A and B are shown apart, each in its own frame.
Chain A
């Protein structure tokens, strides 16, 4: 019953999406206003019902549905039965569609007499995207496909995926990707309508881009947290094609969020922003293509199916072809010849944009390079961490340097010498803090040095500008020349600084030790002594585990913590996972993983000393918070527009 309902509403969603396309395509807007409501709300309703039908099938373990059979099991905890809905290809497409229709509804909510043509065009484009994804789901990956023979239990679910961070990681990412679809549609709409009608399209676009960017940031962060805690490799970023697929739109999104400010304040860079918003969405879809078609293989690879690849690629070709041809023809209307100085706030944002694009292009090249090599030489190679690290880190550094500076500059032209004088205190402060820091860590490395100094450089700038801001506020002086800062920007930039601190610290000073240990063996890492006390068997809710007990002493022979890494075996799905045990403080993580082994030979134990890792998560959370603050301001602006 329920699977059929889900299937029916999936088809109905397609009908509503086509309906939406048709009515918004028609030009006599006023007569069809009532139909609009029906189309948009019908689409939202149907996709909701469809999505929750699948969720219901997963919760009650309806194994007549192939999707449930292949990905679920009766003994799975409820939370993971629910997250199992999007833990597989078909279900995740359904979630994608649901988010798409929710955004569609939000755009519809912006409707008023003034923007009717613009929003109609936007919704028409959104309808095309929705139709594309619905057709893809229905034709190549219908989650409601049934099985002829019935089974009493499912094949189970990868225990690696049973993790709270991973349960919310995909929905956050999809909100990000889909948010860019709104930017795409606004961009297409802005170019399609008559330019004489001055529509502040960028003000419509900005909250959506910001939302996309915030959620994408959070999604990527949760993915990293999962990799760090669950995979047991001691790292948090692996330059895997799937990670890159989310990182590239994030880079473009970062560029977009910044350049939209220029459009808003200075009315320049308009055609650039139009192009960026198209590209961010296209990259999101191409990322999906790379992951789902099996053209590249990665730890995330879903079922390999070339038919899906052909479909998505055709869809990307249509979307990209249409929007980019439109761009080639119409964007000249948005060009203006207002150039600006390098030493101005818009100049620094432009530097940010260029660098983000270059990094994005490098990551893109690295991701598809194995494919290019295969086309031209028949060899199979893979591009790994060394390429990405050695390419992106040096390019990012100037961006970070400018990032500390940029917010201090004012719009328009600024005196170069004045800037240097102005930034002298923060340079001084950054140098002092960094020196103290290195004095504490007593370890020097060029890259680490640069990373840490840059992190403190941003922080010093933020600190000084905040102090300055507060002084101005108290004196209630309104000086023209002193730039204003939004709290969102300050918080987000602080987050980036903390993130850099964490990244630099953990990648430069990480120590790794892989050894075979028997009970009562002793080893040391950094300043810590680790004793393997015992190994015992423990029972979990749906697994049995071998649990090692490691006592950690510091160099004064005081016990700090007892780490208990586990080697879990899930009898139901019959998979095993390693559960790292981590002791975290603000200065470092101690990370112990119990590998294979036995009583006689000893167990393989991997021990990591990861400095400052916790700052990566704190930084990511701060960035998220900063995004939310800016969101508040931008939603206010949007509200004013839609009245």
Chain B
């Protein structure tokens, strides 16, 4: 009887590991973070535009359509990988995307957009991470879906990739509805 008890630690251990493995392997997307910002209005802020000498005012200039807000930087490697998918979203689906160029060198960002194409309707600059703080960003890239009444509905930490592109489009459709 007593000897059987000695096996229980290993059984319990593997049961717990099984749960962890399952969570890692399923398409769970750990970066789909519940954020305090979800279901809140977009933050109020003002920011200079990268390509024009103008100021963008939030929430005034969020029009009444579903909008994607994407934080990116030229020094961020995953942002480069994500870029084609943002282009796809804007070219194929005609989505309005606002890019926020986070803690970056403006000249380098302009060059980068020229080279890779510009999927953004507006590119705001955030040289000192003020907007990053407003939006609660803690890693690049981060993408938010904002609905037509300026409410943040979804947050993705990490890049849009081949793997999660489909799911992301579904989310957009859900928000559009």
Contacts and interface: CB of A to CB of B under 8 A. Distances in A.
A375 interface: yes
Contact of B133 (A304, A372, A575): A575
Contact of A279 (B9, B22, B24): B9
Given A320-B13, A325-B10, A327-B9, A574 B21 contact: no
B114 interface: no
A304 B19 contact: no
With most chain A CB atoms within 10 A of its CB, the pick from B13, B28, B130, B133 is B13
Contacts of A371: 19-20, 23
A380 B103 contact: no
Interface string B126-168: 0111100100001100000000000000000110000000000
B9 to A, nearest CB: 5
Interface residues of B, number: 33
A587 B30 CA distance: 44
Contacts of A368: 16, 19
A385 interface: no
A575 B75 CA distance: 19
Most A CB within 10 A of own CB, among B25, B30, B133, B158:
B30
Contacts of B6: 271, 327-328, 331-332
A509 B155 CA distance: 39
Interface string B1-27: 011001101100110110111111100
A202 to B, nearest CB: 19
Contact of B20 (A151, A289, A294, A304): A289
Given A371-B19, A375-B19, A304 B9 contact: no
A567 B97 CA distance: 34
A307 to B, nearest CB: 9
* Chain A interface bracket (under 10, 10 to 19, 20 to 34, 35 or more): 35 or more
Contacts of B20: 289, 295, 309, 313, 371
B18 to A, nearest CB: 10
Contact of A328 (B10, B17, B30): B10
Interface in A276-315: 278-279, 282, 289, 293-295, 297, 301, 303-304, 306, 309-310, 313
A210 interface: no
B139 A304 contact: yes
A375 B21 CA distance: 11
A317 interface: yes
Nearest to A294: B30
B75 A328 contact: no
A138 interface: no
Contacts of A372: 19
A325 B9 CA distance: 9
A304 B23 contact: no
Interface in B39-66: none
21 contacts: A151-B75, A278-B9, A282-B13, A295-B20, A297-B30, A304-B31, A304-B157, A306-B24, A306-B30, A310-B24, A313-B21, A317-B14, A317-B17, A321-B10, A321-B13, A324-B13, A328-B6, A375-B19, A382-B34, A575-B129, A576-B133
Interface of B: 2-3, 6-7, 9-10, 13-14, 16-17, 19-25, 28, 30-31, 33-34, 75, 103, 127-130, 133, 138-139, 157-158
Given A316-B17, A374-B28, 14 more contacts: A69-B75, A151-B75, A282-B13, A289-B20, A295-B24, A297-B33, A304-B158, A309-B24, A324-B13, A327-B6, A327-B10, A368-B19, A574-B128, A575-B133
Interface of A: 69, 151, 155, 271, 275, 278-279, 282, 289, 293-295, 297, 301, 303-304, 306, 309-310, 313, 316-317, 320-321, 324-325, 327-328, 331-332, 335, 368, 371-372, 374-375, 380, 382, 571, 573-576
